Chain A
C-alpha cells in the first residue's frame, strides 16, 4: 500500500468517513459539469427532493454538443439545443456558475478550469468526464465519474470510492526535438498497455516531466485514462504556481501567499512508498502514431505495423480486429499512409501552445488538396489569444478551417464527423472504432505538430522533416 505520496496526502485530507461497505467517503473540492452527463443527475435530485449542497463548488460550461461552425441560438440541431437549454435552466435554478458561449470563458471543461485558475494543487476534482485526469497536472487528485456520482456530488459534495493504488512512472532524460508530450504519453500507454492502470493512480515524475510546460503536463495526465488509470498527477512546482498566478479565480493578495505556502508543502515525500514504479527513457521516444483501435496500439513514425508474432498473447485478438477495421497489413509502414481529414483540437491538444506548435509547422505552407483540415480551439480564451498572435491567420492561409471552441470531432457529438471509412490524423485521445462519428471511420492519433505535417503532405509524415 502506498504511503507518503501526494495522492495519499490529498486523499487523506479529503476523507470524510469510512463507509459501512468499506469504501471511503471523499469530499470533492471542485466539481465541474457539462451538458452531457449532468441532466440525468439533476433529474435524480428532483426525484429525491434534494438540493445542491455546495452550489459554489460546482462550475459549469458547455462543450460536447456545441456546433463549431455556427453557434447562433437556437442551434440547428434540436437535441443539442435541448441539452444546452437544460443546462442553462439547471444552473439558474441551483445557482451554479455557468460559463456559456460568448462569456469569453466557455470551452472544453478541461481547458477552461485550468485557465480560469479553478484547478489548483491539493484539491480533489471530479467531473462526469473520463478526461478529468487532466487536472492532475497541477498536483490535484482528479478523476472522471458517471452520472450517478455526479448526482452524489451535487447532493452531498462527496462520493463513495475505494482508494486507488499508486504507480510512479519515472521518465528519465528529456524529449528530443520534434517529440512532444503526446508522443511521450502514447509511448507510455504502449509500453504499459491500456489496462495496466486499472485500480491505480499514475504519478508522472522525473527529469523529462519536470522539463514539460504546464500545458504539456496536462496532455500527459489527460491520457492517463487511456492507460486505464482513472487518475494521473504530477507533483506541483514553480511552473505550476506561476501558471495559476493572476488567473481569474486564483487566490489574490494575502490569500495568494497563504495558498503558495500550502502548495509548496504538497508533494510526494522523498521516501514515499509506491505500489509500483516504472522507469523509462524519454530521450528514446520518437514521434508516435497509433495504427489500431486502442490508444495502446501505437508505433514510432519509422516503424512498421507489428506482426501478430511480435505481440503478447493478450494483444493478438485486438490486433487482428485492428488490421481488419483499419485495412492495414502487418509489416506495413505507418509513414506515408494517406489521410483524408486532419483535426487539431480536444482536451488533450487544443490549448494555445498546441496551436502555436502546429502553426509553426504550417507557416508559409499549404494543406494538401486531398485533405479537409480544421482546427478547433479548446476554449474562447485560446481562440482570442490565437487571434491576438495572428495564429488563426496562419491556419487559414494554409487552408485549415478555423472553428469555434468545443469538443468537436474528438467524439463527434456535433456535426463534425468522419464520413465512411475516411482516415483522420487527429490530435485527440481515442482511436476507438466509430469514435469520430462514422461507424467505419479510422483515426490515427498523433501530436498536433504531426497532424500539421500530415495535412501538408496529405500523408502521415515525420514532423522532424519540417522543423530545423
Chain B
C-alpha cells in the first residue's frame, strides 16, 4: 500500500487524480480479490492482494503493478465490472490500494451498491468514450478532474459528461451515502412497517 489508508467521510463532490486503465469485460469479484483472502474478520490487509492472481500471472506487467500507475486513483474499466460474488471485500481491496473513483461502461448491481455504500462513486460512459480514455491512459498519464455536481470530467485536452444514478449523486453531495443513520431516522416508520407485515403475525412462534 502506498499511503496510510483513511476511509472517505462526509460530502464527496470533487475528485481529481490519475487514471489507471484495466481492459476487459465481465471482470468478476473473484478476480478482484480471490476467495482465499476473504478469510479475515476485517478489511485492513486487502489492499495488497487486489487482483493477486492476475498480477502473478502477468509478472509485473499488470496495470496495478506498473510504476507509472502507483499513484492512480481513478479506475477506468469496461462492461459488467464486478460481476459474480457479492463480496464487499472487492471494492474494499480496490479502495485500500488507492482507488477512489471508478469510470466504466457498466457495473454489476451488487458491486455498484457496495461501492456507493463505502464512498466510491461509480460513473458510466459510452463504450467509445471509455476506449478513448483507456487509449489515452496507455500512452501517457491522464489526470482527470471530476465535478460530481455537474457530472463532468475534464483533463487538459479531454471533456466528458459522466453518468451516475441520480440517487447516488445526491447521496454523495449531501454526505448521506453512509446509509445507516439516514435509515435510522425513520425508526417509527420501520416499527409501523413491521407490524403491518402479514407473515410477522403467523410466524411469531417459529422464529
Mark A residues whose CB is within 8 Å of B. Answer: 13-14, 16-17, 19-23, 25, 27, 29, 36-37, 39-40, 43-44, 48, 50, 53-54, 56-57, 59, 64-65, 77, 79-80, 82-83, 86, 97, 117-118, 120, 122-123, 128-130, 132, 143-149, 151-152, 155-162, 194-195, 198-199, 225-226, 228, 230, 248-252, 255-256, 258-259, 262, 294, 314, 317-318, 321, 411-413, 430, 432-435, 437, 439-440
Contact = CB atoms under 8 A, between A and B. Distances in A.
Contacts of B53: 433-434, 439
Contact of A86 (B41, B43, B180, B197): B41
A432 B203 contact: no
Contact of A20 (B36, B83, B170, B193): B170
A16 B41 contact: no
Contact of B180 (A132, A156, A162): A156
Contacts, number: 233
B80 A194 contact: yes
A195 B24 contact: no
8 contacts: A22-B167, A36-B38, A147-B89, A156-B183, A198-B106, A413-B35, A435-B30, A440-B57
Contact of B197 (A13, A129, A160, A249): A13
B190 A16 contact: yes
Nearest to A128: B86
A434 B110 CA distance: 21
A82 to B, nearest CB: 6
B35 A198 contact: no
Contact of B114 (A117, A146, A252): A146
Contacts of B180: 44, 48, 50, 151-152, 155-156
A359 B39 CA distance: 33
User: Which residue, A23, A146, A160, has most C-beta atoms of chain B within 10 A?
Assistant: A146
**Interface range on chain B: under 10, 10 to 19, 20 to 34, or 35 or more?**
35 or more
A118 B206 CA distance: 9
B205 interface: yes
B35 A317 contact: no
Contacts of A144: 86, 110
Contacts of B3: none
Contacts of B202: 251, 255-256, 258-259
Given A252-B206, A413-B35, A120 B199 contact: yes
B131 interface: no
Contact of A79 (B40, B56, B166): B40
A116 to B, nearest CB: 9
A252 B24 CA distance: 52
Interface in B169-193: 170-171, 174, 176, 178-180, 182-184, 186-187, 189-190, 193
Nearest to A30: B207
A118 B34 CA distance: 31
B109 interface: yes
B25 A160 contact: no
B110 A194 contact: no
Contacts of B186: 16-17, 25, 158
B70 interface: no
